[in-house]
Amino acid sequence: AQSVTQLDSQVPVFEEAPVELRCNYSSSVSVYLFWYVQYPNQGLQLLLKYLSGSTLVKGINGFEAEFNKSQTSFHLRKPSVHISDTAEYFCAVSPFLSSASKIIFGSGTRLSIRP
Amino acid sequence: GAGVSQSPSNKVTEKGKDVELRCDPISGHTALYWYRQSLGQGLEFLIYFQGNSAPDKSGLPSDRFSAERTGGSVSTLTIQRTQQEDSAVYLCASSYLGGTGGEQPQHFGDGTRLSIL
């Protein structure tokens, strides 16, 4: 079985400051990893994904994430945030060779940007 | 269409009434998912369709909830005899089933905000 833990339910940061949103996962098999963003009153939108290869993955809106297999982490980072980054961020995993239904989401981290 | 479309965007109804929520997935996407998102909560998986069949209904919270998909496209989620605890945002997503399956991201609609009075 797989599980995803997002330790921070809320992260407040000042505009133009760097941010890191933490994600740890547990799985007995290899997984694909995703970060989704949800803006107010909208559905989720894919930010980035790790399938294989380089452990540093770049996504949209200047975000990037690093896969660390030994620490089973996939933290999301941005060097300088903007007010428009205010949203909820979800980490998710999907096992290799799985049916498509087996994507497991974390509980989300609400990022609030202060001017 | 270009994205996943859900209707209605908002639905307010009285306790005990039945409601029907609609999802129109991205053309060509064979997999379709329903989730429920309660206020301040993460995503609760409800049901998954592959084509018109539902191999995984494990998330449906009670027998008041049902879903169907016809023509491998549009899906409806029906909630009978609604209760106040059914109030939530219901999200639909679709994906293309290719490769091993697990690597395909899901594309989400904007959701239906359901309020039970």
Q: Write the pLDDT tens digit of every residue in A16-38.
A: 999 999 999 999 888 889 999 99
The reported pLDDT for the residue numbered B13 is: 96
* Secondary structure class of A22 (helix, strand, coil): coil
Residue A19 sits in a domain whose CATH number is 2.60.40.10
Calpha distance A54→A67 (Å, rounded): 9
pLDDT, residue A28, reads: 87
Q: How far is CA B53 from CA B30, B57, B97, B104, in A?
A: 10, 10, 14, 19
Domains of chain B: 5-112 (2.60.40.10)
Tell me how many domains chain A contains.
1
pLDDT at A96: 75
DSSP bridge pairs for A20: A77
Q: Cβ distance B54 to B64 under 8 Å?
A: no
* B104 or B66: which leads in pLDDT: B66
Q: Do B108 and A45 touch (CB under 8 A)?
A: yes
Closest approach of B43 to chain A, Cα-based (Å): 7
Mean predicted confidence (pLDDT) in A60-87 = 96
- The DSSP call for residue B28 is T
Per mean pLDDT, which range of A19-28, A84-93, B91-100 is the poorest?
B91-100
Of A40-49, A69-78, B64-73, B101-110, where does mean pLDDT reach its minimum?
Answer: B101-110
Mutation target among B21, B46, B94, B100 for the A interface, most CBs of A within 10 A: B100
Mutating which of B29, B33, B37, B43 best tests the A interface, going by the most A Cβ atoms within 10 A?
B43
Exposure of B70 in the CB half-sphere (CA atoms within 13 A): 3
* Chain B residues inside the 8 Å CB shell of A32: 102-103
Q: In A, which residues are within 8 Å of B105 by CB distance?
A: 34, 46, 49
Region B35-44: mean pLDDT is 84
The whole-chain average pLDDT of chain A stands at 91
Q: Which domain does A40 fall in, by range?
A: 3-114
Under 8 Å CB pairs connecting chains A and B tally to 70
| Mean pLDDT along residues B33-45 | 86
Chain B residues lying within 8 Å of A105, measured CB to CB: 42-43
Closest-CA distance of chain A to residue B28, Å:
15
Grade residue B97 by pLDDT with cuts at 50, 70 and 90: confident
Mean pLDDT for A56-61 is 94
Q: What is the pLDDT, as a whole number, of residue B106?
A: 87
Q: Does B42 contact A45 at a Cβ distance shorter than 8 Å?
A: no
Beta bridge mates, A36? A46, A90
More confident residue, A83 or B103: A83
Chain B: give the shortest CA distance to residue A80, in Å: 26
Q: Do A43 and B111 touch (CB under 8 A)?
A: yes
Q: B25: alpha, beta or left, given left = phi > 0 and alpha = psi -120 to 50?
A: beta
Parallel, antiparallel, or unpaired: how do β-strands A64-68 and A73-78 relate?
antiparallel
CA B76 from centroid of its chain's CA atoms: 7
Beta bridge partners of B95: B31
